[in-house]
Amino acid sequence: MPIILPVKDKNPKIPDDCFIAENATIVGDVSMGNQCSVWFNAVIRGDVYYIKIGNKVNVQDGAVIHCTYQKYPTHIGNNVSIGHNAIVHGCTIHDNVLIGMGSIVMDNCIVHSNSIIAAGAVLTQNTVVESGSIYAGTPAKKIKDISPELTSGEIDRIANNYVKYSGWFKK
């Protein structure tokens, strides 16, 4: 069974159509939209501030979503993929975004819609990612614009695939 716990009388709100892996952890003031999935060993900690997650968001294996005590909550839009072992902390991720494997998005960052954060990238505090762009490196910088084909070919494809994959585990 996944660990789903209240913290200070705040219970996670998880729709019935979401998939939560049996060893995932979701605690505190967390609200999730429809068709979300939280995969093996992922942690979503809404203990020190709130976390709002939109529809069709997948939080892949080992990823961590957290916030900063009473200062930076975490907002995640719709159709977002958070890659394996990524860290998303006290920031805002808009719609149609891919956060690559092992990347780090730090406090008060804003990732605008239709963007990709490359695997292993580090968005340092207060970074603002332009809509329709790819950011990579440490610290992450814009490396190019995204074509509409890349948006549908990668961002949409991965989000849709994770809805499909989660169906394999639902009883």
Indicate whether 165 belongs to any domain: no
What is the reported pLDDT for 125? 98
What is the reported pLDDT for 171? 65
CA dihedral 89, 91, 97, 101 (to 10 degrees): -20
pLDDT band at 8 (very low <50, low <70, confident <90, very high): very high
Residues 6+ apart with CB under 8 A from 10: 28, 29, 46, 50
Rg (CA), the chain: 15
Indicate whether 44 belongs to any domain: yes
Indicate whether 167 belongs to any domain: no
CATH label of the domain that carries residue 130: 2.160.10.10
Indicate whether 171 belongs to any domain: no
In sequence order, the β-bridge partners of residue 66 are 89
Q: Of 129, 101, 100, nearest to 115 (Cα)?
A: 129
What is the reported pLDDT for 21? 97
Q: Sign of the CA dihedral 71, 75, 80, 82?
A: positive
Q: How far apart are CA 170 and CA 71, in angstroms?
A: 36
Give how far the C-alpha of residue 54 lies from the chain's centroid of Cα atoms, to the nearest Å.
9
What is the reported pLDDT for 151? 81
Indicate whether 58 belongs to any domain: yes
Please, what is the average pLDDT of the chain?
Answer: 96
Average pLDDT over residues 86-90: 98
For 30-87, the pLDDT digits (tens) are: 999 999 999 999 999 999 999 999 999 999 999 999 999 999 999 999 999 999 999 9
- In percent, the amount of the chain with pLDDT more than 90 equals 94
Average pLDDT over residues 142-158: 89
Average pLDDT over residues 3-32: 97
Element counts in the chain: helices (H) and strands (E): 2, 19
Among the residues of the chain, which ranges form H helices? Answer: 148-150, 157-167
Indicate whether 152 belongs to any domain: yes
* Total domains, the chain: 1
Indicate whether 128 belongs to any domain: yes
Q: Is the peptide bond before 15 cis (omega within 30 degrees of 0)?
A: no
Domain that holds residue 78: 3-159
pTM of this structure: 0.97
Indicate whether 168 belongs to any domain: no
Q: How far apart are CA 68 and CA 46, in angstroms?
A: 10
pLDDT band at 148 (very low <50, low <70, confident <90, very high): confident
